[in-house]
Amino acid sequence: MTNDTRTDSVPTAAGEADTAQAPVAMAGTLEPEAAQLDPILTAALHHIALHGYHATSVRMIAREVGVTVPALYYHYENKQAMLVALLDSSVALAISYVERALAAAGTDPVSRLQALVKAVALYSAHHRDLAILDSERRSLTEENLARYAAHRDSIESRLHEIVEDGVAQGLFATPAARNCVRAILSMTQGITGWFRPDGPRTAEETARDYERIALAAVEYRDL
């Protein structure tokens, strides 16, 4: 009972004292909205992102929350339901980044490609734990995986449209659009693997690098 697949987002103020939004011309501001996770999911995310789903026991989660194990099962049907809820939140947040960026990006394939790459890069850097969860999708049951994959693929579809558009308009010269899309998404999600918030460069600087690399990858000639 009481399982909920919806993403409950309580719109409290995102108390993140982060660096100011990048004043990039014509690109909409992307505010990292705080992922509103209940204490159980927060603890689950912490452990799963660090050690993986199968290496995380419900007892670890309960201990971190400060409750006993059955309290977890009052809110979630089983352990898998917690992973599902986390992946739902994760993909929802990623898509909200992308939608918001594209909505502010106009119709030019160049600025749309930049916007999408910036969105995924900032999401990957600002929400590393959630973004890393993507690698835990193989622990989903078949139907849960199918649902997740559908949402996830929507981002790839958006990117594919943009690249095809750019090729059709003669802006991008890549002869391998499909693999270009895969490459761009792989490399941008790869940011989760090395980016550290206390590292030498900010997420915004990193995102700008990746925007340029992505434009170069599709062989945009006027860089």
Residues lying near DNA in the complex (CB under 7 A) are found at 2, 11, 56-60, 67-71, 73-75, 78-80
Q: Pick what 210 binds: DNA, its own copies, none; C-beta below 5 to 8 Å, kind-dependent.
A: its own copies
| Total residues at interface with its own copies (CB under 8 A) | 35
- Contact between 212 and its own copies per CB under 8 A: yes
Shortest Å, Cβ 85 to DNA:
13
Compute the radius of gyration of the chain from its Cα atoms: 19
Smaller CB separation from DNA, 82 or 110: 82
Minimum CB–partner distance for residue 10 and DNA (Å): 8
Cβ proximity to its own copies: between 26 and 176 the closer is 176
* CA nearest to 123, candidates 85, 91, 154, 151: 91
In the list 1, 17, 25, 223, the residue contacting its own copies (rule: CB under 8 A) is 223
Q: Residue 61 and residue 46: Cα distance in Å, rounded? A: 9
Residues 73-112 that bind its own copies (CB under 8 A): none
CA angle 189, 195, 201 (to 5 degrees): 125
CA dist 181 → 12, 151, 162, 205, 215 (Å): 35, 17, 10, 22, 11
Measure CA 220 to chain center.
25
Q: Please, what sign has the CA dihedral across residues 212, 217, 218, 219?
A: positive
Binding span for its own copies by CB under 8 A among 67-75, 93-101, 104-112, 190-198: 190-198
3-state SS class at 13: coil
* Minimum CB distance to DNA smaller for 56 or for 144: 56
Of the ranges 25-33, 38-46, 89-97, 171-179, which one interacts with its own copies (CB under 8 A)? 171-179
Q: CB of residue 9 vs its own copies: minimum separation in angstroms?
A: 29
Q: Is the Cβ–Cβ distance between 217 and 184 less than 8 Å?
A: yes
